[in-house]
Structure 1
Amino acid sequence: MSAAFDTYAASGTTTTLTVSSKNVAIVTKHGLNLVARYQTKDVPTLAKMIVVGADAESEAAEDIKQWNNSGNSAKLMFFHRDMSGRFAMDPAFEDLAKQEDIQTAKFAAKRLEYRATDHLKLEGRPFSFEAFGIPILLGILSLLVARFIDKRLIGRKKG
């Protein structure tokens, strides 16, 4: 689960939600209790549903069937399908590059101190114009507003 939550939510580009079929705690193999915020019947509209775990398709077959029959149109992504020999975080970084851009995925790997990035297949836009263009545009707009205020309002009081 940390592959999805640590990569997407911490990047600031995606809202992540937990979903289960029933309103009961899920006990992991190592005894950790997880409580999903939403159940399949009341989950808001999602762009995609990430299903984690190497055996997720067989272990959660009934939940996946319930999801498909619930009318939710979010595409199911099985993150750890066919992952032999790869680290659990790899698919998250690769999908983040496709969803946002390569620099965001590289920064997510760096933020999580994931140093072995040479083998990642990062495909997508090379650079996020939104991430840099919007703050620059707002900065220019702020300077123009400040200059207008200085000339029109403050400038009158001096003279």
Structure 2
Amino acid sequence: MTQDLIAVGRIGPARGVRGDVFVEPWTDAPDERFAPGSVLATDPAAVGPLTVERVNLNGPRMVVHFAGVETREAVEALRGVRLVVDATERPELEDPDEFYASDLVGLAARTVGGTELGPVADVLDIAGADYLVLHVDGVERLVPFVSAVVPDVDLVGRTVTVDPPEGLFEL
């Protein structure tokens, strides 16, 4: 059985020569996820797991020192590695109309009339609004993720229902 892993960050370039590295966090709670002592799995798995020894904020990125990674060369070997956690480690969402983007990707999209649109390929956040990415008739389409256009999401049944406004798929 494969476990669902969720990326919470990506390792960037080295900072200095003593094993510190810039990390781009992909989580709403970087201070919790990257707290000293946190153990993070990696993708590729062969280079991890990595344990956070210390962390500092530096603008939009964090500077992290992982235990046992002491040189610039060791850090550069980790560049581009994704830091992942098991999906079960995510906090429960209290609002039933809120979803993790990773839970939406792969859901079968269909119209309210039952026409199959294909799977949700991605979820994009553009200017503070979320969009489902669908490939309809071979063309990438962005569907606003609002209740008027996406009236139903069934995570158990692995489907999402789309009520497209006129012209959404005609451009």
Asked whether the two chains share a fold, i.e. TM above 0.5, the reply is no
TM-score, normalisation: structure 1: 0.24
TM-score, normalisation: structure 2: 0.23
- Higher share in helix: 1
Q: Look at both structures and tell me which one has the larger radius of gyration over its CA atoms.
A: 1
